[in-house]
Structure 1
Amino acid sequence: MRKKIVAGNWKMNKTADEAQALLSEIVNLIKEEASSATEVTVVLCPPSLYLTMAQQQVATVGNVSVGAQNCHEKASGAYTGEISAPMLKSIGIEYVILGHSERRQYFDESNTQLAEKVNSALENGLTPIFCCGESRDLRENGDYIGFVKDQITDSLFHLSPESFSKVVVAYEPIWAIGTGLTASSAQAQDMHFELRRHIAGQYGDEIAQETSILYGGSANAQNAAELFAQPDVDGGLIGGASLKAPDFITVVKAAQ
């Protein structure tokens, strides 16, 4: 049975006091829901400044982990402002988001560079949440399915079956991030199905069926239940809705 995951990507939001308050609210709401057993893994991905704060807050809560929003492909060196996978491992971080569309767009991250980041994350025991997705122009005018498959091929298919099985995939239609648009549940299912079939072609059906594929395009408290009900949607990578504790908990409950 595939792991259900809801990851909250806070992006570049919240001051320290605001982050502390949000973490406390999320943790308290999760504890209130503890009576209804859940198999959902919750991953909180605040800005790197707050990773240790987040770990302290979630330490007593089951099924809640902390993830970073990015890491550098090198283990160390003269890369001012960057954070490496060994650094994240050294403070006990378990997950790292890699290849988010904003990193690709604003920082020109390539499929080749992301392959190196994936390698570094796995070598250091981190679980990569690997993002892939297409622009609105590609969705309307191009081979968007082929484009997203190529992102996975170029950045992940060099991995051994054992290593690939440790990766979480997150499909994020770029045209549905921060635009108010959301892929319909049918559109999300169609792409998730195609990606799972693509993975099966490389690694076999057993690994493909065990790979968690999250939806990452403006999922929120209103649409999460319908999206997560699709057979190939295994949870979500949540942006804006992760900044409001009640909304985020609603999304988590929708994945149960």
Structure 2
Amino acid sequence: MARKKLIAGNWKMFTLSAGAAQLAKAVADELTADENLLVAVCPPFPWIASVAAVVKGTPLLVGAQDVYPAKEGAFTGEVAPEMLLDAGASYVIIGHSERRHVIKESDSLINEKVKFSLASGLKVIYCIGETLAQRQANETNAVLEQQLSSGLAGVDAAGMANVVIAYEPVWAIGTGVNATTEQAQNAHAFVRSQLAKTYGENVAQAVLIQYGGSVKPDNAKDLLSQPDVDGALVGGASLKADSFLAIVRAAMG
């Protein structure tokens, strides 16, 4: 079956208010509605509402980089799904390797975030990926299987309609080293086979699986041409409109 592609920009902890609005507008101004392609940007929390206002009425979607699994409460510094929706976000990134390895988020917390976000009406970009040591020890598939089962525990087939998987090998994030097209395709095909075991072939064939990890204009077309690569989660290259738009164009075929 033909799947849409999703190109999402993860701005991480970059941009100030004016620059965020300018970047979002520059991207939105170049987008035309395409039923086969979704494009999103995920600014830092403080800029979500202003970016959403700038891109309102355009095809550009807005996401957040994290969330807390509660409706409200005494959780100093945290942001609830309902707040993100109210600010104009429709997607949220959960389980990014920087949150797993730098912020030390546990599998159980990540799973709570996934389930609560879906129940609140957010679409989830769920990140998985192995470290260099794990790849060198031939543990890639075992790591991906474990992260899929732990992160998606309690998510049913209907819930998977609002889940995007982002395969991001940790050794390729921000390093300038990206997986070869063969490595990316093999990992994506494995992820789809695991989804089929859990949810059945129909669900597995419908789920979008993005690649992330040093995606740039010069490697995007080859990566996105792979049969099981359904888009990209873009880091550094999403901070400049021209490079991000070049990746968007590569997804158009």
TM beyond 0.5: yes
* 1:169 and 2:165 matched: yes
Give yes or no for contact 1:168–1:211 (8 Å, CA) kept in 2.
Answer: yes
Q: What is the match of residue 23 of structure 2?
A: 22
Q: What is the match of residue 9 of structure 2?
A: 8
Give yes or no for contact 2:4–2:35 (8 Å, CA) kept in 1.
Answer: no
Which consecutive residues of structure 2, in runs of 5 or more, have no partner in the other structure? none
Give yes or no for contact 1:73–1:120 (8 Å, CA) kept in 2.
Answer: yes
For 2:68, give the aligned amino acid.
H
For 1:247, give the aligned amino acid.
S
Q: What is the match of residue 236 of structure 1?
A: 232
Superposition TM-score, scaled by structure 1 size:
0.95
Instruction: Return the offset for 1:134.
Output: 0.5
Instruction: Return the offset for 1:27.
Output: 1.9
- Which residue of the other structure, out of 77, 81, 85, is the alignment partner of 1:81? 77
1:127-186: CA deviation from partner (whole Å, max 9, x where unpaired): 000000000110112411111111010110421111122211000000001111100011
Alignment of 1:54-73 (within 5 A): 54-62=51-59, 64-73=60-69
- Which residue of the other structure, out of 208, 229, 254, is the alignment partner of 2:250? 254
In 1, Cα distance between equivalents of 2:159 and 2:37: 22
Superposition TM-score, scaled by structure 2 size:
0.96
For 1:52, give the aligned amino acid.
A
* 1:110 and 2:111 matched: no
- Which residue of the other structure, out of 86, 89, 95, is the alignment partner of 1:90? 86
- Which residue of the other structure, out of 132, 140, 143, is the alignment partner of 2:139? 143
In 2, Cα distance between equivalents of 1:15 and 1:160: 38
Instruction: Return the offset for 1:105.
Output: 1.0
1:88-127: CA deviation from partner (whole Å, max 9, x where unpaired): 1223321000000001112111111111001110111100
How many equivalent residue pairs? 251
For 1:196, give the aligned amino acid.
R
In 2, Cα distance between equivalents of 1:20 and 1:203: 40
Which consecutive residues of structure 1, in runs of 5 or more, have no partner in the other structure? none
* 1:215 and 2:211 matched: yes
Q: Percent same amino acid at aligned positions?
A: 40
RMSD: 1.3
2:154 is paired with a residue whose SS is: coil
- Which residue of the other structure, out of 37, 46, 55, is the alignment partner of 2:43? 46
Give yes or no for contact 2:91–2:122 (8 Å, CA) kept in 1.
Answer: yes
In 1, Cα distance between equivalents of 2:140 and 2:106: 17
1:161 is paired with a residue whose SS is: coil
Give yes or no for contact 1:157–1:202 (8 Å, CA) kept in 2.
Answer: no
1:71-92: CA deviation from partner (whole Å, max 9, x where unpaired): 0112222221110112112233
Moved over 4 A (4+): none
